[in-house]
Amino acid sequence: MTKKIRFALLAIALMNIGLFVALYAALAADAQWGYDGDQGPAYWGALSPEFSLCDDGSAQSPIDIDEASAVNLVELEFNYRQTVNNIVNNGHTIQVDIAAGSHIVYNGIRYDLLQFHFHSPSEHTIGGEAAPMEIHFVHRDPNSGALAVVGVMLTESEADNEAYAPVFEAMPAAAGEAQALPAPLALDALLPQTRAYYTYNGSLTTPPCSEIARWLLLDSPVELSAGQIAAFKSIYDGNARPVQPLGKRDLLRKRR
């Protein structure tokens, strides 16, 4: 049985977005991808049949945030706990895996927080300008498997951000390394105090570029010190996919 046939049969049997994404990742594991050269974003769609949406999709992420329509959107409700978590260098970024219990509520749907990770420079841009870094908080609806990703721009200031200190002091330098964070994270303190947001329907920003994500980009940044930013860039500098066309999608902004 060929790989494509196995994929089709298993996808039909699962009929669940969350498991479908996991299956995609498993079957595409042999396809190496990155951010440079012939494994970079311009080539992702050709690296594996499972990555075809990276070239052919119509709702890809990230995008440039520009000319958003201001409307009366619902409040974005955060229910983040202080938890003990694990940090891993997954070969493409530094990722923190979150213990169960933290979640957001958007449009009456609960999305559980699974992990957060970093990109440098920011993947989304605002008016064509990138921030030094961007953090993505990845959430999943446990019923449908659909994703909601909260993005926050990270900008530079003079002082260390103490809420982020346990992360930046424990980042594994080598791909594949994982360890427990030395101290619990107060997850809510990782966010800006003002939480108005932009939103649009999009995709994963890494292969397989599945178009299953509701993006919620907070319009206020969080500040990190130059030293904290440099600590991440010493491991990953340039792990950002270029912006993709908005096309016919709606880009909305919550009125303050």
Catalytic positions are 92
DSSP 8-class letter at 165: H
C-alpha to C-alpha distances, 78 to 109, 133, 199, 244, 249, nearest whole angstrom: 12, 22, 16, 28, 26
The dihedral formed by the CA atoms of 166, 223, 212 and 53, expressed in degrees to the nearest 10: -100
Q: Give 52's contacts (C-beta < 8 A, 6+ positions apart).
A: 45
Element spanning 97, H or E: strand 94-97
Q: Give 191's contacts (C-beta < 8 A, 6+ positions apart).
A: 78, 80, 150, 152, 218, 222
CB atoms within 10 A of CB 106: 21
Rounded to the nearest 10 degrees, what angle do helices 17-27 and 3-14 cross at? Answer: 160
Looking at this protein, which amino acid is placed at residue 169? E
144-153 burial, b at 16+ Cβ within 10 Å, e below that, comes to: ebbbbbbbbb
Q: Widest CA span of the chain, in angstroms?
A: 58
